[in-house]
Structure 1
Amino acid sequence: MEWNRETPWRQGFLLGNDAIDALGLRHPVSPDKTIVVVATHDCDLAQDPQFEPVVEVVVGCLAAKDGNCTHAKNARKLHIEFAGDAPFWAEFEATAKVDVDKLKLNEYAPRSDVRLRVEDYAVLQMWLASRYRRSAFADEFERRLTKETKLAEKIAKAVKPHGELISGVFFDVDEGKEVTRVGPDDTYMLDITILHTAEPDFEAAENAAQSAADAIQKAFKEKLFDPSNKWQHIELRFCDPISESVLTYQVFRQLKRWRLEHMSLAADPQQALLPE
């Protein structure tokens, strides 16, 4: 079959079982729960196969929602909901991308019973881009937050129960300046923003973000605020919730998203990423 710009395939569309089987795309662990989504952008899908012969897809599976993997909070793993006749949650991993022949894919039609909502399609795009928009925090800051204090785990634990209500956790370290810190008394200054959704239930999302912020503040104070009323290693100046409808783009550009599977510049620690 010929490929033309009127192809029915679009980024975010799902392959049916006929295409999955024909192209050998069954999930290696849960083959009976396989979900395959198109990752290639619409503009590239429309290009002549002579010049762009493959379509990139991501092989995933049905899964129970994990709050730390929604809203592209985790660059390695995405949990996202498909709406339609029988809505479901799917899990995709960034390492499960596969190239398929564009002309072979053209022999099949995308699923029409379920689709991503507009807001979820935007999340998919953010997640696909996130691994290519990495920005690292200083290794010493990472070491203090992850290995020395285990506070990174506390942040993830505080956010996880609130799932979709929290869009992300953002850091401002030393007001964006690169400062070399030495010793526990030479503290990093950290401001944390807990970004929450505005719809469909603003109050529930605000309460969730406030609850997460309170838990994070408590963890930092218990771990790093010594009996002499002095911060050690990292000074948490504030941890505040804010709505997506209120955060300005100017402020947003100054923040760095703290991924819940972050990695630093070094090979062993983990790395954080820029906000989208």
Structure 2
Amino acid sequence: MLGRDTDWRQGDLLTREAAAALGLVAAADERHRVIVIAHDCDLPHESELCVEVIVAEVVVKEDSQLSYAKNPRRLHLAYEGINTAPLILELRHGDRHSVPKADFAERAVKDHSLALPVDAKRVLKQWLAARYGRPAFPNEFEERLRKGKVERKIAKILEPDAKYLVGLFFDLGEQRGTEAVEGEPYALSVSVVYDANEGGADARRAAERVATQLRELFENIYGKPDVATEIALDACEAVADTYLTLADLRRMDQWRLEYVSLRDDDQGDFLPVGEIPA
């Protein structure tokens, strides 16, 4: 069993040989790697009988649309090594597995040649949490947002600048949990949050460009705020992630950029969203 002194951590990679020994991949499989996704504290805890892992696919290039946990179903992570190109892996929730701790302790071997940077590990945690933290917007709001396939048009606007964006946040105010009646518009404020540290001025311009296009889209579909009867876009602004407060995050819901990437076959007809925990 794993003891308190274990050096296994969430985000660690198993060697190919160890993954094959555990029956998670084929012995000659070079297209998949296995990642530990169990929480650090759960790995040595005696009440946890299994170690949760995910079988990830090796991809050639990181897709910015699948970074920053924007997509609740798929995630791209880049593992770094010494004197080697980054290893880009695509994770899908459907490829999670539970390995009995006794088997893991006996056969698992950590791949020390590759490591997940601190920021990327934070993204992994957010992505895992978003699986169960996605809020449901009011059904009536979702129906109105589907009018004219608006949600897909939002994705098309976001796609060219996805690499600069941390997320798109919707604020419905007091209507957050309300099913509005016909003729009563939802008053919506949108924050296009960009990465100020990594993207700098380019990211700010990209977010401002997205905000302008979103305002035009909502006015074309629903009309200007003072005459809209379905969704009134009262505000849509570019916001640096460094200026977003905890109070802001508790008030808003994140619209996950799932439609930006290829749609999963089992996605169904729902609005992909996520939520910052209260």
TM-score, length basis structure 2:
0.86
Q: Using the TM superposition, give the Cα deviation of residue 36 of structure 1 relative to its aligned residue in structure 2, in angstroms.
A: 1.6
Q: Select the residue among 47, 52, 55 that pairs with 1:56.
A: 52
Task: Give the equivalent residue in structure 1 for 2:108.
Answer: 108
Task: Give the equivalent residue in structure 2 for 1:198.
Answer: 196
Distance 1:137 1:36 in 2: 34
**SS of corresponding position for 2:256:** coil
Task: Give the equivalent residue in structure 1 for 2:81.
Answer: 84
Equivalent pair of 1:143/1:269 in contact (CA under 8 Å)? no
Letter in 2 for 1:211: R
> CA 1:230 to 1:160, structure 2 compared with 1: closer, same or farther past 3 Å?
same
Question: Does residue 1:246 correspond to 2:243, yes or no?
Answer: yes
Distance 1:175 1:157 in 2: 29
Task: Give the equivalent residue in structure 2 for 1:257.
Answer: 254
Distance 2:213 2:76 in 1: 24
Identity of aligned residues (%): 33
Distance 2:64 2:199 in 1: 17
Question: Does residue 1:93 correspond to 2:95, yes or no?
Answer: no
1:264-275 alignment to 2 at 5 Å?
A: 268-275=269-276
> CA 1:150 to 1:241, structure 2 compared with 1: closer, same or farther past 3 Å?
same
Distance 1:19 1:162 in 2: 39
Task: Give the equivalent residue in structure 1 for 2:230.
Answer: 233
Q: Using the TM superposition, give the Cα deviation of residue 175 of structure 1 relative to its aligned residue in structure 2, in angstroms.
A: 4.2
Task: Give the equivalent residue in structure 1 for 2:44.
Answer: 46
**SS of corresponding position for 2:196:** coil
Q: Using the TM superposition, give the Cα deviation of residue 177 of structure 1 relative to its aligned residue in structure 2, in angstroms.
A: 4.5
> CA 1:41 to 1:178, structure 2 compared with 1: closer, same or farther past 3 Å?
closer
Q: Select the residue among 67, 72, 75 that pairs with 1:70.
A: 67
> CA 1:256 to 1:202, structure 2 compared with 1: closer, same or farther past 3 Å?
same
Distance 2:194 2:87 in 1: 23
Equivalent pair of 2:13/2:35 in contact (CA under 8 Å)? yes
Distance 2:174 2:138 in 1: 13
For structure 1, which segment, 106-115 or 164-173, has the greater mean C-alpha deviation from structure 2 after superposition?
A: 106-115
What are the superposed Cα offsets for residues 26-70 of structure 1, whole Å, 9 maximum, x if unpaired? Answer: 38xxx531022111011111224xx32210001111223333321
1:113-132 alignment to 2 at 5 Å?
A: 113-132=113-132
Q: How many residues align?
A: 264
> CA 1:139 to 1:11, structure 2 compared with 1: closer, same or farther past 3 Å?
same
For structure 1, which segment, 215-224 or 10-19, has the greater mean C-alpha deviation from structure 2 after superposition?
A: 215-224
Letter in 1 for 2:141: F
**SS of corresponding position for 1:59:** strand
> CA 1:97 to 1:83, structure 2 compared with 1: closer, same or farther past 3 Å?
same
Q: Using the TM superposition, give the Cα deviation of residue 232 of structure 1 relative to its aligned residue in structure 2, in angstroms.
A: 4.0
Q: Select the residue among 211, 216, 225 that pairs with 1:213.
A: 211
What are the superposed Cα offsets for residues 61-87 of structure 1, whole Å, 9 maximum, x if unpaired? Answer: 122333332111111111222222321
Equivalent pair of 1:174/1:189 in contact (CA under 8 Å)? yes
TM-score, length basis structure 1:
0.87
Gaps of 5+ in 2: 260-267
For structure 1, which segment, 217-226 or 149-158, has the greater mean C-alpha deviation from structure 2 after superposition?
A: 217-226
Q: Using the TM superposition, give the Cα deviation of residue 15 of structure 1 relative to its aligned residue in structure 2, in angstroms.
A: 1.2
Letter in 1 for 2:271: Q
